[in-house]
């Protein structure tokens, strides 16, 4: 371990960084599970540091089986726990993780929301209806219920506590955002962020799209 530390130390110095920069980036990633450059000044700084040490950070994390996904277009970095599967490789949405700190799996309610919202986002994207500069999609309560029913034949839980917790989980995963009084009026929609494409496995999304297209024929 000492030799690894020394190697990282020397490599950071050669890049005009120090070991503290390396430790800071990895510590934050391991704690939060994700860095989105646009989300805060802190994450902007950490993202820019990551770019200068990306190969070293990925190699170091891979030693303990942690996978790193870097989306350069969205300027986002996300970690996947050991033995989990990244969206590019996975065909089962229920294998994704409940919290952004890499622990736990999504429950049925959370998985249903994730799949339906990803399909809704993909539909708007393919229809070229996403004109917002931040590439977000808004939907109200009725549109949310219709998306669940249309895309996956699911009805949200009658329990508000369960619904709210599921949405909070997706918010922690940085794939949606919403205000304090979600769906209370037209000014408080659910907002789907483009980062949702990094969480739902592409094969799962393609399978659902193919099924929907077949049903429409």
Q: For the chain, how big is the Rg over CA atoms in Å?
A: 19
CA distance 50 to 42: 12
Tell me which CATH code domain 93-216 carries. 1.10.10
| pLDDT, tens only, 184-206 | 666 688 999 988 877 766 666 66
Q: In the chain, which segments carry CATH 1.10.10?
A: 93-216
CA distance 25 to 35: 9
What pLDDT score does 107 carry? 83
- Give 186's contacts (C-beta < 8 A, 6+ positions apart): 140
CA distance 90 to 187: 36
What pLDDT score does 92 carry? 39
What pLDDT score does 117 carry? 92
Residues in the chain: 217
CA distance 187 to 193: 17
Distances from the Cα of 207 to the Cα of 66, 141, 192, angstroms? 27, 26, 21
pTM beyond 0.75: the answer is: no
Structure tokens at 95: 């294998």
How far, rounded to the nearest angstrom, does the alpha carbon of residue 42 sit from its chain's CA centroid? Answer: 18
Residue 93 phi, psi dihedral angles, 5° rounding: -65, -20
Residues in the chain where the model's pLDDT stays below 70: 1-3, 82-105, 184-187, 200-217
């Amino acid at each position: 371990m000492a030799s690894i530390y020394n190697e990282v130390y020397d490599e950071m110095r050669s890049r005009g960084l120090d070991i503290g920069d390396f430790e800071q980036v990895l510590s934050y990633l391991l704690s939060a599970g994700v860095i989105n450059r646009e989300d805060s000044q802190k994450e902007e700084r950490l993202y820019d540091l990551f770019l200068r040490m990306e190969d070293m950070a990925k190699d170091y994390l891979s030693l303990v089986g942690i996978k790193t996904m870097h989306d350069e277009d969205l300027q986002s970095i996300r970690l996947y726990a050991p033995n989990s599967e990244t969206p590019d490789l996975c065909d089962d949405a229920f294998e994704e993780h409940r919290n952004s700190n890499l622990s736990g799996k999504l429950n049925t309610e959370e998985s249903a929301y994730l799949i339906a919202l990803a399909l809704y986002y993909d539909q708007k994207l393919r229809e070229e209806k996403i004109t917002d500069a931040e590439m977000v999609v808004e939907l109200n309560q009725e549109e949310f219920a219709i998306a669940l029913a249309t895309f996956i034949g699911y009805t949200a839980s009658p329990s508000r506590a369960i619904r709210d917790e599921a949405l909070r989980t997706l918010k922690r995963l940085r794939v949606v955002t919403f205000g304090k009084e979600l769906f209370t009026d037209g000014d408080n929609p659910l907002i789907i962020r483009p980062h949702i494409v990094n969480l739902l496995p592409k094969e799962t999304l393609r399978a659902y799209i193919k099924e929907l297209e077949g049903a429409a024929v």
